[in-house]
Every structure is written in structure tokens, then in C-alpha cells.
């Protein structure tokens, strides 16, 4: 018989009340609580806690507390990643974040989803879709990335944007739902002025 965790990781409907998953969420809550209680000078402790919490962590990573996640082990961040205050990473599926990425304050990344049909939703099953963020991405404060989206290399997501579709390489997106505001090129140094955070 397939475990609820295996179903979750495969993107199939699963029961989040399963004892194994509940215990893993409790572990993540403990680790994030400890992380969020650290102070600015606790760089070594912060790194140790991120290594224990996240699935993989590159070099030069900084995450400002508080941060929240469901499981932690499905979060993978590349080198020189920076997340500002109050980020939420709902990682029932993999969240892959590339190198040189900046995430503004209050940004939410969701992989978890529920059935649209009310009767199915009342049965309590959930599912999820992975989120992938490429290299050199800037995500402005209070942006939301929904389940299943991919963000291309060099993209900028404006503050407050709600991303429901894939974002191509080298563009600025904004709005709800987010749409392409303009394309960037290598010489466009001020193309992210709307991102914020």
C-alpha cells in the first residue's frame, strides 16, 4: 500500500492528517520556531538550522526570520539566495530556487492545493504541484506564486503580483493575475523598479 507521504510527493491526492505527515510538519514547526528565535549575529546557528530544515542549501544563503514552511525538506535553494522577512513556503511538493535569487518580504510560494469541487474538498484530501524558480530572479514583496508555476531565469516579479502561469526568462511581470509588463535585456539595469523589497 502506498503511504500518504509517497502520494503527496508524487502529486496524488493524499490525507494531510496522516500521522507521519503530521509528525513531519511538527518537526518543521519546531525548526522554524528555533530559526525565528535567532538573532542577527547567529549566523552559524541559522546555517545549521537551514541545513536541517531545507532539502538543500547553497553557499551564501540568507533567510531573514520569520520564515514558515510545511515540511522544509522539499525546499531547495541555490547559492547566494536571499529571502526577506515573513516568507511562507508551502512545500508539500518541491520548491526549487536557483542561484542569485532575491525574495522580497511577505512573499508566499504555494505548492499545496485543494479540490475545486466543494464535496471533494470536504473529504479532506489535498494535492500539490511543484514550483520552480530559475537563476537571477527577483521577486518583489507580497508576491504570491501559485502551485505548478515556473519562473524563468532573470525574471522579475513585481511587488504584490499573483503568479498563476509560467513566467518566461528575462521579463517583468506584475498584476493579479500577473502578466508580462515588459521584456528585459542584459543592459536593462533599471527594469526591476516595480519589484520592491
For each of the domains in the chain, give its residue range(s) and CATH number, in order of start: 4-183 (2.160.10.10)
The pLDDT value given to residue 1? 80
Measure CA 80 to chain center. Answer: 16
Bridge pairing between strands 14-15 and 125-128: antiparallel
Helix, strand, coil in percent for the chain, rounding step 5: 20, 30, 50
The pLDDT value given to residue 185? 82
Active site residue 114: yes
57-94 confidence digits (pLDDT tens): 999 999 999 999 999 999 999 999 999 999 999 999 99
The pLDDT value given to residue 192? 45
The catalytic position among 34, 114, 129, 150 is 114
Q: Which residues contact 71 (CB under 8 A, 6 or more apart)?
A: 21, 24, 25, 28, 91, 92
The pLDDT value given to residue 86? 98
The pLDDT value given to residue 189? 46
Question: How would you write the pLDDT of the chain (197 residues) with one tens digit per residue?
Answer: 899 999 999 999 999 999 999 999 999 999 999 999 999 999 999 999 999 999 999 999 999 999 999 999 999 999 999 999 999 999 999 999 999 999 999 999 999 999 999 998 898 899 999 999 999 999 999 999 999 999 999 999 999 999 999 999 999 999 999 999 999 986 554 444 556 66
150 HSE (CA, 13 A, CB side): 5
Amino acid at each position: 500500500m502506498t503511504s500518504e507521504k509517497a502520494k503527496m510527493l508524487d502529486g496524488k491526492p493524499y490525507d494531510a492528517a496522516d500521522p507521519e505527515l503530521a509528525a513531519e510538519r511538527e518537526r518543521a514547526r519546531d525548526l522554524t520556531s528555533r530559526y525565528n528565535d535567532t538573532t542577527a549575529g547567529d549566523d552559524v546557528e541559522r546555517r545549521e538550522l537551514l541545513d536541517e530544515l531545507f532539502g538543500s542549501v547553497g553557499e551564501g544563503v540568507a533567510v531573514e526570520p520569520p520564515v514558515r514552511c510545511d515540511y522544509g525538506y522539499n525546499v531547495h535553494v541555490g547559492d547566494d539566495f536571499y529571502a526577506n522577512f515573513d516568507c511562507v513556503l508551502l512545500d508539500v511538493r518541491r520548491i526549487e530556487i536557483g542561484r542569485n535569487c532575491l525574495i522580497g518580504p511577505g512573499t508566499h510560494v504555494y505548492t499545496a492545493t485543494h479540490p475545486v469541487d466543494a464535496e471533494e474538498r470536504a473529504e479532506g484530501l489535498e494535492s500539490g504541484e511543484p514550483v520552480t524558480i530559475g537563476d537571477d530572479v527577483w521577486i518583489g514583496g507580497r508576491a504570491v506564486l501559485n502551485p505548478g508555476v515556473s519562473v524563468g531565469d532573470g525574471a522579475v516579479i513585481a511587488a504584490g503580483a499573483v503568479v498563476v502561469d509560467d513566467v518566461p526568462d528575462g521579463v517583468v511581470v506584475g498584476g493579479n493575475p500577473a502578466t508580462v509588463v515588459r521584456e528585459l535585456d542584459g543592459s536593462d539595469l533599471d527594469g526591476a523598479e516595480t519589484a520592491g523589497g
